Amino acid sequence: MSSFVMTAEEREAFLSEVHIGVLAVEREGRAPLAVPVWYDYEPGGELLIWMDAGSVKDKAIKKAGRLSLVAQSETLPYKYVTAEGPVIANDTPPTREQALKIAQRYLPGDEGAKYVDGALSDNSVLVRVRPEKWLSNDQGKA
């Protein structure tokens, strides 16, 4: 029986592909918060997630100081990668370029720029996470 675990190179390449991420963060006295997010990641780098400052996500992340993000394929062969790590920064808005990079991963053509023009504000925050722990599974390795 072969291992379904991805190599470091495979998991980082998979995470850098376009997937809706599921952000999970601890909440005291409650179930973990788990919400879909857009993100950006380049192999060897940091996870970048843009959100509204003061949102439920932002408050939970500030309190916990770390989070997990899951990316998965929704077609055969099924795969997933979970990256967990500390929050490096989450106190400043993204630059327009950072916001565009995230939005244009998910929206075609000039839709990404239109989205950024309507959503980016002084109330935005860019969460930067350094992945330290990984889980992965690639059913294509069967």
| 3-class secondary structure per residue, the chain | CCCCCCCHHHHHHHHHCCCCEEEEECCCCCCCEEEEECCECCCCCCEEEEEECCCHHHHHHHHHCEEEEEEECCCCCCEEEEEEEEEEECCCCCCHHHHHHHHHHHCCCCHHHHHHHHHCCCCEEEEEECCCEEEEEEHHHC
Round the average pLDDT of the chain to a whole number and report it: 97
> What's the Cα-to-Cα distance from 74 to each of 16, 33, 81, 110, 135, rounded to whole Å?
16, 22, 13, 26, 17
Inform me whether the pLDDT recorded for 1 exceeds 60. Answer: no
Residue 25 maps to a domain: yes
The verdict on residue 3 lying in a domain is no
Q: What is the CATH number of the domain that holds 118?
A: 2.30.110.10
Does 119 fall in a domain? yes
Range of the domain at 86: 8-141
Domains in the chain, number: 1
* 27-70 per-position pLDDT tens digit: 999 999 999 999 999 999 999 999 999 999 999 999 999 999 99
Please give the model's pTM, rounded to 2 decimal places.
Answer: 0.94
